[in-house]
Amino acid sequence: MNRDIKIAVIGLGYVGLPLARLFATQFSVVGFDINVPRVEALQSGMDSTLEVDAVTLQKVLVQKSSTEKGLYCTSLIADIANCNYFIVTVPTPVDKNNRPDLTPLFKSSETVGSVLKKGDVVIYESTVYPGVTEEECVPVLEKVSGLKFNVDFFAGYSPERINPGDKEHTVEKILKITSGSTPEIGQKVNELYQSVIIAGTHLAPSIKVAEAAKVIENSQRDINIAFVNELAKIFNLLDIDTAAVLKAAGTKWNFLPFKPGLVGGHCIGVDPYYLAQKAQEKGYHPEIILAGRRLNDSMGEYVASQVVKLMIKKGVTINGANLLMLGITFKENCPDVRNTKIVDVIKALEDYGIQVTIFDPWANPSEVEHEYGLKMVNKAPNNTFDAVVLGVAHAEFLDLDINSLRKNCSVLYDVKGVLTEGVDGKL
C-alpha cells in the first residue's frame, strides 16, 4: 500500500512541514514550496520555524524523490508530477479590511491542477469557510487540469490543528477530522491519516461539515477570550483583580478557564472572519462573532492606554519617554510573528510619542522589519527605561532581572499576568 501512495505536501510552513515529516515516516513524500531559500534550508535539515528539530528532520530526508519512504523538499513543480495524493497546507489570511484572502489557495490549486492525473486525490488542510473546497478550489483544479471532479479526480478536507511552539500536542497526537468528496474517498482519506495519527481520526459526513467544524473551533475560543477581555476592562474600573475573580469562579466544575489577552496568530484572530464572510453572503449578519472580533482587536490600544495612565500617575513625561517591549511574537516560546497583536500595542504607544525598544530572543529581526517595519533586538539592552511591558511570556523573560532595566519611577505592566513582583498593572 505504501508503495502505491506518493504524497505531495504543498506549502512547507508551520502546518505543512510537520505533516510532511510525519507522513514521510511511512510514505514517499515530496514537500513543495515556492520559497526557494526555505526549501534549501529544509533540504539541508534546518527548520527556521523550529517546529521540527534538526535531528528529527534529517532522519526522514532523502536526496531525491523515489518510491521509498522519506521526504524530499523542492520548489520545482515537475518533482510533484508523479504524486497521487496532494495535500494543500498554504495559509488563508485576511486582507487589510479583514476579508478572506483565498489567493494562496487559488495559486496552489493551479499548481496542483497543472500535474493532476486521473485517480488523484487533492486534500485541503487550510482553514476556510464552508464550501471553499468544492465551490472555489475544485473549479480551479478542473479548469487547469481539464479533468472532471468526482469522475477523474477527487477531493478531501482535513483541517489542520497545529499549535505553533507546542512540543506536547504535536500533529500525530491531535485527533484529526477527515472527509472526502464521495463516501469511498472519505474512507481512503481517513485511512491515510489513520496510518500516522496515533490520536485517531473522526470521519465527517461531508467536506462542508469538516470545513465548518474547523472554522468554529477557533471562533468559539475567540468569543470566550473576548468575554474575559471585557471582564478585565470592567474589573479594572472597579479596582478588582481579574485573575483572582477567574480563580474563584473556576472552582465551579463547569466554569471555562479562559484568560484575558491579546488575540493574534494565524488562527483565532483570523478564522472568525471567514465564517462571518460566508454568513453575510447568505444575508445573515453575525452579531456575536463580529462583536468578539471587535473587542479583541481593540485590546492593543487598551493595553497602551493603561500603560500611559500608569506612567502619568508616576510622573513620567509621556512624549519622548522610552519603553521596553518584552516580546513581539504572537505567543510564548515560538518565533511565529504572524498577526501578532503586540504590534498594535507598539503602534498605539508610538502614537503617544513614546520611543519603543523591542526585545525578543525568539523572533527574527529581518522578518519583523519586513512584516511590520519595526526594528528589534535579540539581546537585552544595557540601558534603563521609563516603562517595561511584558508582552509575551517567553521562558527567558521569566528568568530576566527586569528591575535592572527600570528607572526609579518606571512602570512595569504585565500583559500575560505571569510576573509576581513589582508589577504596576496587568491585563
Residue 264: what pLDDT?
A: 84
Other CB atoms within a 10 A radius of the CB of residue 335 amount to: 18
Look up residue 7 and give its three cell numbers. 504524497
Question: What would the 3-class secondary structure string for the chain be?
Answer: CCCCCEEEEECCCCCHHHHHHHHCCCCEEEEECCCHHHHHHHHCCCCCCCCCCHHHHHHHECCCCCCCCEEEEECCHHHHCCCCEEEECCCCCECCCCCECCHHHHHHHHHHHCCCCCCCEEEECCCCCCCHHHHHHHHHHHHHHCCCECCCEEEEECCCCCCCCCCCCCHHHCCEEECECCHHHHHHHHHHHHCCCCCCEEECCCHHHHHHHHHHHHHHHHHHHHHHHHHHHHHHHCCCCHHHHHHHHCCCCCCCCCCCCCCCCCCCCCHHHHHHHHHHHCCCCCHHHHHHHHHHHCHHHHHHHHHHHHHHHCCCCCCCCEEEEECCCCCCCCCCCCCCCHHHHHHHHHHCCCEEEEECCCCCHHHHHHHHCCCCECCCCCCCEEEEEECCCCHHHHCCCHHHHEEEEEEEEECCCCCCCCCCEEC
pLDDT tens digit at each of 427 positions of the chain = 566 899 999 999 999 999 999 999 999 999 999 999 999 999 999 999 999 999 999 999 998 867 789 999 999 999 999 999 999 999 999 888 889 999 999 999 999 999 999 999 999 999 999 999 999 999 999 999 999 999 999 999 999 998 888 888 899 999 999 999 999 999 999 999 999 999 999 999 999 999 999 999 999 999 999 999 999 999 999 999 999 999 999 999 999 999 999 998 878 888 999 999 999 999 999 999 999 999 999 999 999 999 999 999 999 999 999 999 999 999 999 999 999 999 999 999 999 999 999 999 999 999 999 999 999 999 999 999 999 999 999 999 999 999 999 998 899 999 999 998 889 999 8
C-alpha cell belonging to residue 313: 500617575
| pLDDT the model gives residue 245 | 97
Q: What is the pLDDT of residue 2?
A: 63
Measured between alpha carbons, how far is 54 from 58 in angstroms, rounded to an integer?
6
Cell of 185: 474517498
CA distance 6 to 31: 11
Burial 21-59, CB ≥16 within 10 A → b, else e: bbbbbebbbbbbbbeeebbeebbebebebbbbeeeebee
User: Considering Cα of 197, then 199, then 202, then 207, what sign does the dihedral take?
Assistant: negative
Answer positive or negative: Cα dihedral of 375, 379, 385, 390: positive
Active site residue 83: no
Alpha carbon distance 278, 58 (integer Å): 42
The one catalytic residue among 73, 83, 267, 334: 267
Alpha carbon distance 150, 128 (integer Å):
21
